C-alpha cells in the first residue's frame, strides 16, 4: 500500500489508539502527535541513509565504456555503489563476453601494477 507522510503518521496514531490527523490540523499538531511526526521523519531518514536495498533507494545506470578511459565518475545522486552487481554486457560486435566485475581494493591495484598500466595508456581523440 502506498503511503504519504500523513498516512504514515495516521497509521502510527491508529496503532496507539489515537485520533487520526487531517490535512487541516496536521501542521499545528502538538504533543504526542508531534512526537509521532518526528518519529516517522526519523525513520524515513534512517532508511534513506542506511538501507540501500529498499526499492525506492535503488537505481540502475548504464555507462558506455570508451577504450583508453580507465576512470569513470560516479553519479552525484548516488548514495552507494554496489560493485558486486556491476556487469560488462555481452556485445557480439565488440567480441566482449558478459561477466561480473570484481572489486579490487587499492593495495591489490598497486601490487598488480595496474597503476603503471594507466600511465602507459595513450588517449586519442
The length of the chain in residues reads 125
Cell of 21: 490527523
pLDDT score of 88: 76
DSSP, res 37: H
Nearest to 60 by CA among 89, 84, 85: 85
- Given this model, what pLDDT does residue 120 score? 56
- Distance (Å, whole) CA 13 – CA 10: 5
Residue 100: DSSP 8-state = E
Condensed to tens digits (0 to 9), the pLDDT of residues 36-48 reads 999 999 998 888 7
**Residue 52, CA distances (Å) to 34, 56, 77, 92 in order:** 28, 9, 13, 33
Look over the chain and give the mean of its residue pLDDT values, rounded to a whole number: 79
Amino acid at each position: 500500500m502506498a503511503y504519504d507522510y500523513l498516512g504514515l503518521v495516521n497509521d502510527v496514531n491508529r496503532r496507539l489508539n489515537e485520533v487520526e490527523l487531517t490535512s487541516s490540523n496536521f501542521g499545528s499538531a502538538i504533543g504526542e502527535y508531534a512526537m509521532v511526526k518526528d518519529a516517522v521523519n526519523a525513520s524515513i531518514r534512517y532508511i534513506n541513509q542506511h538501507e540501500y536495498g529498499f526499492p525506492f533507494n535503488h537505481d540502475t545506470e548504464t555507462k558506455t565504456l570508451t577504450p583508453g578511459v580507465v576512470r569513470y565518475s560516479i553519479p552525484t545522486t548516488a548514495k552507494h555503489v554496489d560493485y558486486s552487481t556491476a556487469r560488462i554486457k555481452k556485445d557480439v560486435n565488440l567480441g566482449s563476453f558478459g561477466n561480473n566485475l570484481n572489486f579490487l581494493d587499492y593495495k591489490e591495484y598497486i601490487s598488480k601494477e595496474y597503476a603503471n598500466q594507466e600511465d602507459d595508456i595513450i588517449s586519442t581523440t
